[in-house]
Amino acid sequence: MLEIHAAEAPITEDDAFIAEALESASIPTLMMALIHITGDPGLLDGPIRPGPAAMGGTQGGLPEEERAQVRAHALEVLKAFRDGGCRLPPPPSHETIIRMMSFMVGEEVPDEYLPMMLEEMALDGDHRDVHWDDVPAEARKSLRVLVIGAGMSGLLAAIRLEEAGIPYVVVEKDDHVGGTWYENSYPGCRVDVPNHFYAYSFEPNHEWSEYYSQRDELVAYFEHCATKYGVRPHIRFNTEVTRASWDEDRGRWSVQVRPADGDEETLEFSAVISGCGLLNRPKYPDIPGLDDFEGPCFHSARWRHDVPLDGKRVAVIGTGASAFQLVPEIAKITEHTVVFQRSPGWMGPNPLYHERVPDGKKWLLEKVPFYARWYRFLLFWPASDALLRSFKIDPDWPHPERSVGPLNEERRVQMTEYIASQVGDDPELLEKVVPKYPPFVKRILQDNGSWLGALRRPDVDLQTSGIERVTAKSVIAGDGSEYPVDAIVLATGFHANRFLYPMDIVGRDGVVLSEKWGDDPRAYLGITAPGFPNLFLLYGPGTNLAHAGSIIFHSECQVRYILGCLKALLREGRRVIECRDEVNEAFNERRAEAVSQLVLSHGGTTSWYKNSRGEVTVTSPWRLVDYWSWTRRPDLSDFELR
Ligand code: NAP
């Protein structure tokens, strides 16, 4: 018999407590945990079988009667487990785990996904961790790495560098960790990916208070990680990287940093990892008269907490994900809100979006062995590659302006019905909020009714005639209506296509990154680019996820790959690693071809996925499983090592 998994605390609670907690169990998840606890895979051959996870939520579509049966069985198992000293039998065999996966999600999990999912679930520990005991400490110390940004991905890079024993410095322009979650503090800001997998795979949090946590809790999570993994002392806060230039002779990056309260300094690094993301530089609209407005006017990502909006008349420009979250909140307190919509977004129903996690569920996550790991899998799987099928353009599809194929049309019908179920009695509003373009051209918005509920309020107007101009005290719409307002909120998005903007990055032979790329960034795997040796990007070109997964998953893939590149340098006794031009070009041609076959490239509307020529540059067309396998380790033939 093995001791209980170290991450889980022993069960000490009484029978009544356990029975109560089981009421909030996800039954498919519970069944998997029971197999671990009893060592008996018999449930896999039993009569109670979850349906497809995508359809049945976290309950596998099981009827209440069957759920009650599983709970009753679980109560007996957990009591015996507790009374027996919380000792676990040997873990299920690999073959059993594979059967468990398909059983749990009610569909066959193809073989090619198994290694990725096993790793993501970390059933027997963190397999993405980095221990370089095979590289002498002296060699490791010869590297000095700069990480730009202490947001989700920069912290992740720092955590792995720390594990690998490589000297590093994190330079962060803000006074805090958290990146986008720190900077975006607008009312209602929350994650819209399920939080129990929007967390590092190696640092699950069983205490999320909501299924989709709000901004403060996310910042606290990243703060916790920075401290727990020893990264904090390496962060230089309030310091901005302004310029980095490559010195080929010395094989180093020379980096200028500007502390908020000091003089610019030049630092030297053997490699640079950018964790500054692509949604961190606000985009301000070019609207006639905007500068003449006399009241407060601010971007959603630069929220003015010193400007109370209670009882005020407010204009919100934009209806993307940020507006979608903030409008319902401010509408509760303003005297009047007018929302300027240029194009509506598709939205999908998500009843858990604002719900709190019951205490019983937190207990199950924390105390029931392997429950949290399988819960992650249950959330991950339906948010994996299956959705990509709805993105595929069918060249023979008869009405490509409204959808691009049968599955895409199906989504359109579902979401239209969902919208109509809320505003069907208001044909004028319905006409304004149902997009004309196909689903998935832009990001799908998570909804629990709060957006359309806000738009239906008598003190909220939705303006769709555009903005003619702004005056000192009002916004004048395209149809000539004038809206006197006290404040303007610009929920107008970010410079997503300008990577590393506004930093000045000068590569080999004096090539300036912003000039080379313009708004057509091209990096191999979104991570590394010819002409810019020893420079690595996290959340780089073509790695935004629109069809599946969480950016944390992608960042974990990228960080592993980057650490693999650094290790290759040390192993080969080289100082410089640079992606080959032909490899990058071929990859980007494949990427462009793949994108052209997906709805992302549809011309029916704007999106921040596209550059000024309408080309999709930031979003990934790849299946998660492909990207995962391509980034497991670098293929050194893709690089020149010097
Ligand atoms: P966004 O999706 O780029 O939306 C910007 C909005 O402003 C769009 O409605 C756009 O209209 C409008 N707009 C831009 N310029 C305009 C102009 N000159 N006049 C009128 N309207 C204008 O930006 P976002 O809402 O900040 O979201 C960006 C991304 O951040 C999201 O897609 C998501 O990836 C991330 N985000 C995530 C969360 C979350 O997870 N909870 C929350 C917020 C943001 P058009 O649509 O017509 O271009």
3-state secondary structure of 610: strand
Question: Is residue 561 within 8 Å of 525, Cβ to Cβ?
Answer: yes
pLDDT at 87: 94
- Cα 322 to averaged position of ligand 1 atoms, centre (Å): 6
* Cβ neighbours of 2 (radius 10 Å): 9
Neighbours of 46 (CB within 10 A): 12
Q: How far apart are the C-alpha atoms of 155 and 161, rounded to whole Å?
A: 10
Tokens read off for 452:
């359309």
DSSP 8-class letter at 51: -
Residue 185 carries which side chain, given as an amino acid letter? S
Of 442, 469, 608, 609, the residue with max ligand 1 atoms within 8 A of its CB, to mutate for a pocket test, comes to 608
pTM above 0.85, yes or no: yes
* CB 65, CB 74: distance < 8 Å: no
Hey, whose CA ends up nearest to atom 48 of ligand 1?
606
At which residue do the structure tokens 């909220």 appear? 460
**Closest Cα to atom 33 of ligand 1:** 321
Q: Which two tokens stand for residue 65?
A: 């009667």
Looking at ligand 1, which residue's alpha carbon is closest to its atom 27?
321
Residue 2 has a pLDDT of: 34
The Cα-based distances of 140 to 26, 165, 533, 567 in angstroms read 45, 7, 19, 9
Task: Read off the tokens for 68.
Answer: 């009650």
End-to-end CA distance of the chain: 52
Q: Given the structure tokens 């008996």, which residue do they identify? A: 40
Which residue has its alpha carbon closest to ligand 1 atom 37? 321
641, with CB counted inside 10 A (0-12, 13-18, 19+), is middle
Closest CA to 193 of 549, 624, 627: 549
User: Of all protein residues, whose CA lies closest to atom 17 belonging to ligand 1?
Assistant: 285
Rounded mean pLDDT for each run of 10 residues along the chain, 642 residues in total: 50 98 98 97 97 84 97 98 95 94 95 92 86 91 97 98 97 98 98 94 96 98 98 98 97 97 95 94 97 98 98 98 98 98 96 96 97 95 90 97 97 97 96 98 95 98 98 98 98 94 96 95 97 98 93 97 97 96 98 97 95 95 97 97 96
Token reading at 49? 């079988």
Question: Which residue type is seen at 328?
Answer: P
Distance CA 258, CA 131 (A): 33
Domains and CATH numbers, the chain: 140-281+496-591+602-641 (3.50.50.60), 290-352+418-490 (3.50.50.60)
Structure tokens at 45: 């051959």
- What is the model's pLDDT at position 56? 66
pLDDT score for 53: 87
Distance 284 CA to ligand 1 centre (A): 11
d(CA 21, CA 15): 10
pLDDT on residue 453? 97
Q: Which atom of ligand 1 is nearest to the CA of 490?
A: 7
Q: How far apart are CA 56 and CA 105, in angstroms?
A: 9
Asked whether the CA dihedral 604, 607, 611, 617 is positive or negative, the reply is negative
The neighbouring-strand residues paired with 340 are 317, 463
Ligand 1 atom 21: residue of nearest CA: 318
Among 49, 156, 142, smallest CA distance to 103 is for 49
C-alpha span between 536 and 543 (Å, rounded): 13
* CA-319 nearest atom, ligand 1: 9
317 C-alpha vs ligand 1 centroid, how far in Å? 9
Ligand 1 centroid from CA 345, angstroms: 10
Q: How far apart are CA 164 and CA 571, in angstroms?
A: 14
Probe residue for ligand 1, chosen from 283, 302, 303, 322 as the CB with the greatest number of ligand atoms within 8 Å: 322
358: which DSSP letter?
P
Q: What is the DSSP letter of 195?
A: T
Q: Is the dihedral of CA 622, 625, 629, 631 positive or negative?
A: positive
Q: How far is CA 133 from CA 138, 164, 400, 439, 568, in A?
A: 11, 8, 56, 49, 14
Listed in sequence order, the residues at least 6 apart from 562 whose beta carbon sits closer than 8 Å to its beta carbon are 157, 273, 527, 536, 538
Amino acid at 74: A
Pocket of ligand 1 (CB under 6 A): 190-192, 279, 285, 287, 300, 317-323, 325, 340, 342-343, 443, 467, 491-493, 606, 608
Closest ligand 1 atom, residue 342 Cα: 47
Work out whether strand 239-247 and strand 252-259 pair parallel, antiparallel, or are unpaired. Answer: antiparallel
- Within 10 angstroms of residue 390's Cβ, the number of other Cβ atoms is 22
HEC per residue, 246-315: EECCCCEEEEEEEECCCCCEEEEECEEEECCCCCCCECCCCCCCHHHCCCCEEEHHHCCCCCCCCCCEEE
Cα(190) to ligand 1 centroid in Å equals 15
